Amino acid sequence: MPLTVKICGLSTPETLDAALLAGADMVGFVFFPPSPRHVSLDMAEKLGQQAKKAVKVALSVDADDALLANSIEALRPQILQLHGKESLARIRDIKQKFGLPVMKAIAVETAADLAALPGYAAVCDRILFDAKAPKDATRPGGLGAVFDWHLLEGLDLKLPFMVSGGLNAENVAEAVRITRAGGVDISSGVESAPGIKDPEMIRNFIRAARATEELAT
């Protein structure tokens, strides 16, 4: 199957255009003020109208219903990405209230971090495995850290999953080879500075990710 490539944390028309032209399957927008990738509702509406060729993903972190409703109204996403400590009950509630598929991010450092996977897999539509943030971090993702991909070897998961965390054009092929993930998600790995996406890095990453499809055939 084709690899799903997601560019996350897009915040300007120029970098979104670069991702779309390079063939990104999913484009992610961050609704979390502590993040340098946070987008205003006005900008989200503008970018949402621009992103017609890709699946739009609205990322939030332990958001309340008001923030979710406002971000959905502005962006019109196809998927909600929950990147906080949302409980199973909260995820069920969000799906019921907003009627959108949910991708849950699971922070991974050791095998013990996968213990919650069956519960999330039962209520979510997609899983994103990301590196666990340091204890003193102010946000859960976009930190450029890599986790041990071998923890996902032989994973028997019935729903689609993606890997994230410290990916770049040089290591994406190894990440896909080890995890057999159906998708990859990158944010800080295509930035020249925190929150500043680099069009050339975006193009290089997507090109490298697509090359893994050729290796698999």
* Tens of pLDDT, residues 159-210: 999 999 999 999 999 999 999 999 999 999 999 999 999 999 999 999 999 9
Tell me which of 61-65, 115-119, 140-144 is least confident: 140-144
The long-range contacts involving 165-169, CB below 8 angstroms and separated by at least 24 positions, are 165/108, 165/129, 165/130, 165/131, 165/141, 166/131, 167/205, 168/205, 169/201, 169/204, 169/205, 169/207, 169/208
* pLDDT range class, residue 217, cuts 50, 70, 90: very low
* pLDDT range class, residue 154, cuts 50, 70, 90: confident
Residues annotated as catalytic (active site), given as ranges = 8, 130
pLDDT of residue 137: 54
pLDDT of residue 53: 86
pLDDT, mean over the chain: 93
